[in-house]
Amino acid sequence: MTDKPLLSISQARERVLDAVAPLDREELAVPDALGRILGEDVRAIADVAPFASSAMDGYAVRSGPSGRSLQVVGEARAGHPFEETLADGQAVRISTGAPLPPGADAVLQQELAQADDGRVTLLDDVRPARNVRGAGEDLRAGERVLRAGERLGPAELGVAVHAGRARLTCARRPRVAVLATGDELVEPGGKLGPGQIHDSNLVTLSALARQSGADVVEAVHVPDDGPATRAALERALAVADVVIASGGVSVGPHDHVKPALRDLGVEERFWRVALRPGKPTWFGLHDRTLVFGLPGNPVSAMVTFILFVRPALAALQGAAARPTGRTVLGEDFERHPGRDECVRVCLRDGRAYATGPQGSHVLRSMALADGLVVIPRGEQGPLSAGTEVELIEL
Ligand code: AMP
Ligand code: MG
């Protein structure tokens, strides 16, 4: 043990981000880019919509007063324009999405028109541009409509299509290997012997990695044994961009992760953070591979993933930094004297309340949470309700 002051959360995160080298990019068909981080700016190649069109089913006309009787000279449907030029005294039957015929400057919806034997009577005044969608109202030719670093959701994929694209350049998915260490661990659903528990970290950490855009290429259980730990880590280092081990990073005689990593030449960048839960968190680098040793307690593992691994996965993919969230405490929160605390909270009416007991083994505190608030360490009693604090959304 050393007397070095522990790193703060943000100092530790900086060390992680300093070690990140962005991954290379690949081109994907737009539908395959869902959830990816965009690796280029996207500009609209033309106006969207490309032409003025009708917003209603009705009649394309020249603007003017109510009561006019017009001759219906044809029809414009979506995908089937009416090509001739509309003259005074004429109307064209038009469907939603059909191009406005030349000569017309407005559309009157059919509910306000009376059709009779090739003619139509307009029952309302028609001002210019009524029910007309102008060209370029959605996107302008040349306009930047998506930015490098954005996460692509369904709407962004749609905008890319409108912008004229069939393919997008995105960061490659980070390859992640997850290892859960512990002799006590049994696979989900397995029968528990004396002293055994179900392994939840392999599931939660893999799920968090996938949510961050990673491919989980390996998820394995490792017993508390030096050679087995070393062999599993060696395999993981060979296949992954990011290796995440849970458990075995404390100072007990059965904590084999740190010695194994040292043997494998992984260079330690930090061990231990002034954080609760999650003090024993370890981080190192092996060539370009990031290696995290997260504490085994289920809440600690998830919290430290969110604080340190999630930003690393985002940076590997070139994601724009998330803005720091803020919220207001809805109740008093005890302060830890020496470590900043990540409390699981639910948000009600814009205020944060703890999700019940906060032990690092109480995983339900996480399941009930909308986010984490950071309660800065301090000695002068609790942090009172109404104080503004950092909020990390889940
Ligand atoms: P460790 O960090 O290995 O000392 O583990 C700390 C605590 O977390 C112990 O109570 C372990 O039983 C528990 N734990 C470790 N790994 C897991 C896991 N994968 N799933 C659930 N609990 C775990
Ligand atoms: Mg253990």
Both structure tokens of 236: 């993981």
Domain-ending residue, one of 86, 103, 133? 133
192 with 297, same domain: the answer is: yes
d(CA 56, CA 132): 8
Q: How do residues 181-230 score in pLDDT, each as one tens digit?
A: 999 999 999 999 999 999 999 999 999 999 999 999 999 999 999 999 99
Ligand 2 centroid from CA 182, angstroms: 4
Ligand 1 centroid from CA 201, angstroms: 8
13 with 32, same domain: the answer is: no
Mutate to test the pocket of ligand 1, among 201, 281, 305 (most ligand atoms within 8 A of CB): 201
378 with 349, same domain: the answer is: yes
What 3 state SS string does 193-217 have? Answer: CCCCEECCHHHHHHHHHHHCCCEEE
208 with 305, same domain: the answer is: yes
76 with 87, same domain: the answer is: yes
Nearest CA to ligand 1 atom 10: 297
User: What is the tally of structural domains in the chain?
Assistant: 4
351 with 384, same domain: the answer is: yes
Which residues constitute the domain of residue 248? 9-23+172-316
Instruction: Decide if 4 is inside a domain.
Output: no
Residue 103: partners with Cβ closer than 8 Å, 6 or more residues away: 62, 85, 86, 87, 90
389 with 331, same domain: the answer is: yes
113 with 156, same domain: the answer is: no
Q: How do residues 87-127 score in pLDDT, each as one tens digit?
A: 999 999 999 999 999 999 999 999 999 999 999 999 999 99
Instruction: Decide if 266 is inside a domain.
Output: yes
Whether 250 is in the pocket of ligand 1, judged by its Cβ within 6 Å, is yes
Residue 20 DSSP symbol: -
72 with 31, same domain: the answer is: no
Whether 185 is in the pocket of ligand 1, judged by its Cβ within 6 Å, is yes
> Tell me, what CATH number does 177's domain have?
3.40.980.10
| Atom in ligand 1 nearest the alpha carbon of residue 280 | 2
> Tell me, what CATH number does 373's domain have?
2.40.340.10
Question: Residue 220 CA to chain centroid, in angstroms?
Answer: 26
Which run of H or E residues covers position 219?
Answer: strand 215-222
Query: What pLDDT sits at residue 3?
Result: 63
Whether 297 is in the pocket of ligand 1, judged by its Cβ within 6 Å, is yes
Both structure tokens of 239: 């296949």
194 with 310, same domain: the answer is: yes
Instruction: Decide if 2 is inside a domain.
Output: no
Both structure tokens of 219: 């998820």
Q: How do residues 328-346 score in pLDDT, each as one tens digit?
A: 999 999 999 999 999 999 9
Ligand 2 centroid from CA 263, angstroms: 19
Instruction: Decide if 365 is inside a domain.
Output: yes
202 with 298, same domain: the answer is: yes
Q: What is the mean pLDDT of the chain?
A: 97
Whether 197 is in the pocket of ligand 1, judged by its Cβ within 6 Å, is yes
Bigger pLDDT: 322 or 23? 23
195 with 123, same domain: the answer is: no
Q: What is the pTM of this model?
A: 0.93
